Amino acid sequence: MKAMVIYESLTGHTRRLGELIAGELVGRGIEGSVCPITRIDLDALSAADVVLVGSWVDGIFVVGQKPGRASRLRNLPAMRGKQAAVFCTFALNPGKTIAKMTTIVEGRGAAVIGGMAIRRDDLEGGAVELVDRLLDALASA
């Protein structure tokens, strides 16, 4: 099983979370790599069985939340036939960001099997929980 984490990050929280998730995957025996959305390793993407796409929440904190720099997500390479999961970091309230990311990533052809919003003040705990949920979802997919 090969997993790839692709992240969009403005101030570093989502980058850090992406790195923690990749480390957690490797710790559980899964080959995991991580790269920013602006420099995607296309060979690694083509070899990946599951792709985790992360971004941050952009809004006015209680309304209008959406994935940060959503156009970058909409321009992801085609991921037909791949399983995917989405995640985001947020400060206060993620709103419908995960649902919006799911729609965007499905639009790139991937089958999204789960998503999780992670508060930026517990990235370590969030990474462990996300990988737990991902492995459960993959086992029952």
Ligand X SMILES: Cc1cc2nc3c(=O)[nH]c(=O)nc-3n(C[C@H](O)[C@H](O)[C@H](O)COP(=O)(O)O)c2cc1C
d(CA 97, CA 49): 24
Considering the complex, what minimum distance in angstroms separates the CB of residue 17 from ligand X?
A: 8
- Residue number, nearest CB to ligand X: 59
Q: Measuring CA to CA, how many Å separate 111 from each of 7, 35, 61, 79?
A: 18, 20, 29, 9
For residue 43, the SS3 value is helix
Looking at the Cβ atoms of 32 and 68, the one nearer to ligand X is: 68
70 touching ligand X, by CB under 6 A: no
Looking at the Cβ atoms of 30 and 116, the one nearer to ligand X is: 116
Q: What are phi and psi of 116, to 5 degrees?
A: -150, 130
Among 13, 82, 100, 108, binds ligand X (CB under 6 A): 13
42 touching ligand X, by CB under 6 A: no
Residues in region 19-38 near ligand X by CB under 6 A: none
Residues in region 76-135 near ligand X by CB under 6 A: 89-94, 120
Contacts of 108 (CB under 8 A, 6+ apart): 76, 77, 78, 79
Amino acid symbol at 133: R
List interacting residues with ligand X (CB under 6 A). 9-15, 56-61, 65, 89-94, 120
